[in-house]
Amino acid sequence: MTIALLETSPPRMQESAAARVERELRASIIDLTIRPGERLSESEIAERFQVSRQPVREAFIALMRQGLVDVQPQRGTVVVKLSVRRMLDARFIREAIEVAIVRRACERFDAHYRDRAASLIEAQETAARAGDHLGFQRLDSLFHITLAEGADCAEAWSAVEMQKAHMDRVCALTLHSPGSMGPLVDQHRAILNAIEDGDGERAVAAMSHHLSEILRAVAGLDLAHAELFE
Amino acid sequence: MTIALLETSPPRMQESAAARVERELRASIIDLTIRPGERLSESEIAERFQVSRQPVREAFIALMRQGLVDVQPQRGTVVVKLSVRRMLDARFIREAIEVAIVRRACERFDAHYRDRAASLIEAQETAARAGDHLGFQRLDSLFHITLAEGADCAEAWSAVEMQKAHMDRVCALTLHSPGSMGPLVDQHRAILNAIEDGDGERAVAAMSHHLSEILRAVAGLDLAHAELFE
DNA sequence: TAGTATGCACTTGTATGGAAGTTCAAGAGG
DNA sequence: CCTCTTGAACTTCCATACAAGTGCATACTA
């Protein structure tokens, strides 16, 4: 649904070289700037980022733990290909956690975050009308994070983030038609409304429905980019 | 509920030095052999394992990502203290995922894994009678993994594993009374029965109840080991 | 020609030295 | 006695060199 713009943006103070390489490589892998199946060389990346091999190696290991690259000892490192199976697994895990989040949100949801979520929906409406895909994706991510924080589940979101990457990578393939963002805004609104009403079952159903949108994108893209899939 | 014996056991072929250090340190951190709050030194650990500082550093970074140590640049690395909050967060995430697993298991559960789960319960019964805590913990972990694999959710289990460490660390403090394992076996049996009946709601309730056992262990131990908590 | 060595060019893994930053204690100065 | 400075002793982080393993092309052999 979204690409990782949020965790990409803050070039925090004194970011280590390893963290910088990992952050930038991760973003490129998720938005498919680096193609699935492509070989990555420690030396080449090190030269490109003007650092030594060591921080690059640490970035590779971190990306391997996230399931984004495959480090084969003494052979090489490759960006893992897209996988419908892996995407469905990620969706399953994400839905499990986010459903639990909204269920808890129906019991207690901080008022400040409720207002923030509402204003984010407004901003999404604007971005959708303007056809601003990148902005919309960033706002989408912020909306989900806000739900987690409002329900006091910030830690749970970090667990979602890893899975989200595998969904975003597949979504980066789908062509973003102008009208595709509107329904998503409505779904966000339905989720927030249910939370405000404290209606757990409705909130769960709304979130589940929302996260099932990606299933519709699966059918149409397999053949067009077969070489990117395993 | 359990400590990480499963992922600790296989000293796989050609395991790298970094992986070995991480594996052993992780096990020691989880079973509290290395005390929460203790400082870790790259040099000291390197000397102890007879390797250079580099693989130790990589192990530290990996453990940091799992939330088990805190690497403070240019200052030092410490084992994170126990945290009731962190444990409750881990429990929340784990319950969310495992509840989704058993719900799926009620729809389709491989017969081979059903038999395996049943035999694991038998083995747990034996271990419980014999008072074999370590064996029981290993069987407990295997049971949950078997549920995940039987429901074709192996990937989801790896997401659970990280959270599980934070629960196991707190559970390592609780004194294991001889009769404490019996109810857990019954709970496992209830879960498996519900799955065999295809009764989703009952399976979810049984798993949720099972994973709530740890909440009972929270109250009694805070004061006895206050220095281990943040 | 088919099959088998063999050496080269690549890869990741490890060791080691030094750069940059933090902490803490000892000592100078008020 | 209190405050500030300063330097030694640590820490993690990075750069570099080397070790070890893989794959492939080339050349040699039957």
Same structural domain, B108 and B179: yes
pLDDT bracket for residue A222 (50, 70, 90): low
| CB-strand contact B74/C, under 7 Å | yes
A159–B159 C-beta distance less than 8 A = yes
- DSSP per residue over B100-117, as a string? HHHHHHHH---HHHHHHH
Quick one: which of B141, B143, B97, B88 has its CA closest to B120? B143
Do residues A206 and A115 both lie within one domain? yes
- Mean pLDDT over residues B140-163, rounded? 97
Instruction: Please tell me the predicted confidence (pLDDT) of residue B3.
Output: 32
User: What is the overall mean pLDDT for chain A?
Assistant: 90
How far apart are alpha carbons B150 and B169 in whole angstroms? Answer: 27
Q: Is the pLDDT of residue B193 over 50?
A: yes
Residue where a domain stops, chosen among A52, A79, A106: A79
Considering the domain architecture, whether residues B111 and B58 belong to the same structural domain is answered as no
Distance CA B64, CA A16 (A): 15
Residues B95 and B201 in one domain: yes
Query: A4 by DSSP, 3-state: which?
Result: coil
pLDDT, residue A10, reads 38
Same domain, B74 and B88: no
Condensed to tens digits (0 to 9), the pLDDT of residues B53-101 reads 999 999 999 999 999 999 999 999 999 999 999 999 999 999 999 999 9
Residues 6+ apart with CB under 8 A from A74: none
Domain count, chain A: 2
- Out of A46, A61, A79, pick the residue that ends a domain: A79
Establish if A38 belongs to a structural domain: yes
What is the three-class DSSP state of B137?
helix
Q: What is the pLDDT of residue B222?
A: 63
Domain CATH number, residue B30: 1.10.10.10
Place of tokens 């690497």: B71
Q: Evaluate if the CB of B57 falls below 7 Å from strand C.
A: no
Q: Which of A27, A49, A79 is the last residue of a domain?
A: A79
Find which nucleotide's C1' atom is closest to B54's CA.
Answer: C14
Arithmetic mean of pLDDT, A143-147: 98
Q: Write the CB contacts of A171 (distance below 8 Å, at least 6 apart in sequence).
A: A1, A2, A3, A214, A217
Q: Check residue B139 and give its pLDDT.
A: 96
**Contact (CB, 8 A) for A143 and A117:** yes
**A163 and A52 housed in the same domain:** no
Which residue's structure tokens are 């945290």? B83
Residue partners of A137: CB distance under 8 A and separation at least 6: A1, A2, A3, A5
Residue in B92, B155, B162 nearest the CB of A156: B92
Same domain for B112 and B161, yes or no, is yes
Both A74 and A98 in a single domain? no
Beta bridge partners of B76: B72
Is there a contact between A155 and B95 if contact means CB atoms under 8 Å apart? no
CA–CA min distance B71, chain A (Å): 12
**What is the rounded average pLDDT for all residues in chain B?**
90
Neighbours of B67 (CB within 10 A): 18
Q: Which residue segment(s) compose the domain that A151 sits in? A: 84-222
Q: Taking CA atoms, what residue in B is nearest to A162?
A: B159
Short-list B86, B83, B79, CA closest to B33:
B79
Q: Which CATH number belongs to the domain containing residue B185 in this structure?
A: 1.20.120.530
Note whether A156 contacts B93, CB cutoff 8 Å: yes
Residues in chain A, overall count: 230
